[in-house]
């Protein structure tokens, strides 16, 4: 299946990046629909908010959130508020996780490959070797 092809996935990620680089300074609001896997929040969201998140999440980038949005490498980064208390967190979305980009309700970008499960990347490859455990804390 073409959506499983690495080159195809790289093309879609590049397209998402180019479109976001255009949208961020040129529109007042847009939304992204993402695969939640490997999205990071800093600081981490409180447990009661985290448990409400589903595998697919929608972020609306407007006003303050849009003003903080930027592309760094292969990530879209922005600050957003969550829950009733508007808990602030910096969100780091891998571009490859973006399923759709919409303005109003009009899809500008669709990437079905982003719905596929991603391989978990090892945080520390050194720690994968059992013989190195004696050097770990």
Handedness of CA 34, 37, 43, 47 (dihedral sign): positive
Residue 28 has pLDDT above 80, yes or no: yes
pLDDT score recorded for residue 1 = 86
pLDDT digits (tens, 9 = 90+) for 101-115: 999 999 999 998 887
Strands (E) located in the chain: 29-35, 40-42, 56-62, 70-72, 75-82, 87-94, 98-103, 106-110
Residue 124 has pLDDT above 90, yes or no: no
Tokens representing residue 91 in the block: 């969100």
Beta-bridged to residue 87, according to DSSP, are: 82
**Residue 130 domain boundaries:** 2-135
CB 31 within 8 A of CB 61: yes
CB 109 within 8 A of CB 98: yes
CATH of the domain at 73: 2.30.30.220
Model confidence, pTM: 0.82
Region 56-66: what's the mean pLDDT? 96
The total number of structural domains in the chain stands at: 1
Rg (CA), the chain: 17
Residue 126 has pLDDT above 70, yes or no: no
- CB count in 10 Å sphere of residue 31: 18
């Amino acid at each position: 299946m073409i959506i499983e092809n690495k080159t195809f996935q790289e093309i879609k990620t590049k397209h998402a990046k180019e479109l976001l680089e255009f949208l961020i300074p040129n529109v007042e609001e847009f939304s992204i629909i993402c695969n939640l896997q490997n999205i990071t929040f800093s600081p981490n969201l409180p447990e009661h908010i985290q448990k409400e998140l589903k595998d697919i999440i929608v972020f609306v980038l407007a006003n303050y959130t849009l003003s903080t949005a930027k592309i760094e490498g292969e990530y879209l980064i922005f600050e957003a508020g969550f829950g009733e208390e508007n808990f602030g967190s910096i969100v780091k979305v891998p571009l490859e996780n973006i399923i759709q980009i919409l303005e109003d309700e009009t899809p500008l970008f669709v990437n079905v490959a982003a719905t596929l499960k991603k391989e978990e990347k090892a945080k520390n490859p050194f720690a994968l070797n059992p013989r190195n455990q004696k050097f770990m804390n």
